[in-house]
């Protein structure tokens, strides 16, 4: 086979996602954000809805999501993305509106906005990347930080007695009648990436069908914040994060899958 044959479109097996910009990702090597961005954009691209898609970027590591995702995007104040998305979705009911948020943004400062947006069943997609830590500000304790986990604001480990237990947002909002699809995924292996992408596709299909709110949690690593190598962080995630945040669908087509 000649080189010219290899680069023919019909022989191409992989290419850069069309809806990712050429900007260099600002995420740490090993971080799951890049993959989560990538599959979100692949779904928009494959559905052919880029002209009708509006994203909302959060505050946190993914504050610059709009530098990487080549769709129209609005940057929201910390925690307010679900309210900002509500404002867009209500006035442009035929658009595909999504938020992309981390755990500090969605589960701490923006808890009220998250819960009420879910409760109203806004016709949007929320992509929630949960790595159990505040990455952007330098590794402080998040509402999702595991018990005993050391962070810069819980240097001796998270104490449940004084700091409460980590919040399981997906289980919490799945109990609201307004949510239509709630699932928990990860992007640390090829298998998981494919599953997560399917979940995101399903979420955006729900928007197309005007089914209401779809919530895709992605349990991810933060090798920098957790002070591990990327590989160590993925192993730690499997051993510690997944038992507390089990992967899988929690609510499908408006029905709870199992009692958590």
Partner 1 sequence: MSELRLMKGNEALAEAAIRAGADAYFGYPITPQSEVIEYLMDQRPEKRTGMVVLQAESEIAAINMVYGAASSGKRVMTSSSSPGISLKMEGISYLAGAELPAVIVNVVRGGPGLGTIQPSQADYNQAVKGGGHGDYRMYVLAPASVQEMSDFVSDAFDIAFKYRTPVMILSDGLIGQMMEKVVLKDERKRLTDAEIDEKYGSWATTGRKGRERNIITSLYLEAERMEQRVRKLMNKYQRMEEEDLRYEMIHCDDAEYLFVAYGSSARIAQKAVELGREKGIKVGLLRPITLFPFPKKQLFELADQVKGVLSVEMNAGQMVDDVRLAVEHKVPVEHFGRTGGIIHTPEEILEALEQKIVKDGSIRHHTTREPSLL
Q: Which residues bind partner 1 (CB under 8 A)?
A: 50-54, 56-57, 63-64, 66, 70-77, 80, 83-92, 95, 112-113, 116
In the bound state with partner 1, the residue whose beta carbon lies nearer, of 77 and 235, is 77
In the bound state with partner 1, the residue whose beta carbon lies nearer, of 71 and 174, is 71
Chain-centre distance for alpha carbon 77: 17
C-alpha separations of 139 from 21, 29, 227, 242, 252 in Å: 27, 16, 9, 20, 33
In the bound state with partner 1, the residue whose beta carbon lies nearer, of 84 and 237, is 84
- The pair of structure tokens assigned to 77 is 């104040």
CB of 120: closest distance to partner 1 in angstroms?
Answer: 8
In the bound state with partner 1, the residue whose beta carbon lies nearer, of 36 and 57, is 57
CB of 208: closest distance to partner 1 in angstroms?
Answer: 14
Decide: residue 157, CB within 10 A, 0-12 exposed, 13-18 middle, 19+ buried: middle
Pick the closest to residue 140 from 150, 130, 126 (CA basis): 150
| CA angle (148, 150, 155) in 5-degree steps | 110
Decide: residue 161, CB within 10 A, 0-12 exposed, 13-18 middle, 19+ buried: exposed
CB of 56: closest distance to partner 1 in angstroms?
Answer: 7
In the bound state with partner 1, the residue whose beta carbon lies nearer, of 85 and 193, is 85
For residues 72 and 74, give the distance between their C-alpha atoms in angstroms, rounded to a whole number: 7
CB of 147: closest distance to partner 1 in angstroms?
Answer: 30
In the bound state with partner 1, the residue whose beta carbon lies nearer, of 76 and 126, is 76
CB of 230: closest distance to partner 1 in angstroms?
Answer: 25
CB of 242: closest distance to partner 1 in angstroms?
Answer: 32
- The pair of structure tokens assigned to 251 is 């609510």
| CA angle (101, 19, 47) in 5-degree steps | 90
């Amino acid at each position: 086979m000649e080189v010219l044959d290899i680069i023919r479109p019909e022989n191409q097996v992989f290419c850069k996602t069309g809806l990712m910009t050429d900007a260099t990702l600002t995420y740490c090597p090993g971080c799951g954000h890049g993959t989560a961005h990538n599959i979100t954009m692949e779904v928009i691209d494959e559905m052919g809805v880029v002209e009708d898609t509006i994203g909302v970027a959060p505050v946190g590591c993914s504050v610059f999501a709009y530098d990487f995702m080549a769709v129209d995007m609005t940057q929201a104040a910390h925690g307010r993305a679900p309210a900002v998305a509500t404002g867009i979705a209500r006035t442009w009911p035929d658009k595909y509106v999504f938020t992309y948020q981390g755990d500090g943004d969605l589960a701490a400062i923006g808890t009220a906005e998250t819960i009420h947006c879910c409760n109203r069943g806004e016709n949007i997609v929320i992509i929630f990347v949960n790595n159990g830590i505040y990455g952007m500000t330098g590794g402080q304790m998040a509402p999702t930080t595991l018990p005993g986990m050391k962070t810069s604001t819980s240097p001796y480990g998270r104490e449940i007695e004084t700091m409460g237990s980590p919040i399981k947002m997906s289980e919490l909002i799945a109990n609201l009648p307004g949510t239509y699809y709630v699932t928990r995924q990860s992007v640390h292996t090829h298998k998981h990436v494919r599953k997560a992408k399917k979940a995101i596709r399903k979420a955006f299909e729900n928007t197309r069908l005007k089914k209401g709110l779809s919530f895709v949690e992605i349990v991810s690593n933060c090798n920098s914040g957790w002070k591990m190598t990327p590989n160590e962080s993925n192993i730690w995630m499997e051993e510690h994060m997944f038992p507390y945040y089990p992967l899988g669908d929690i609510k499908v087509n408006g029905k709870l899958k199992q009692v958590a």
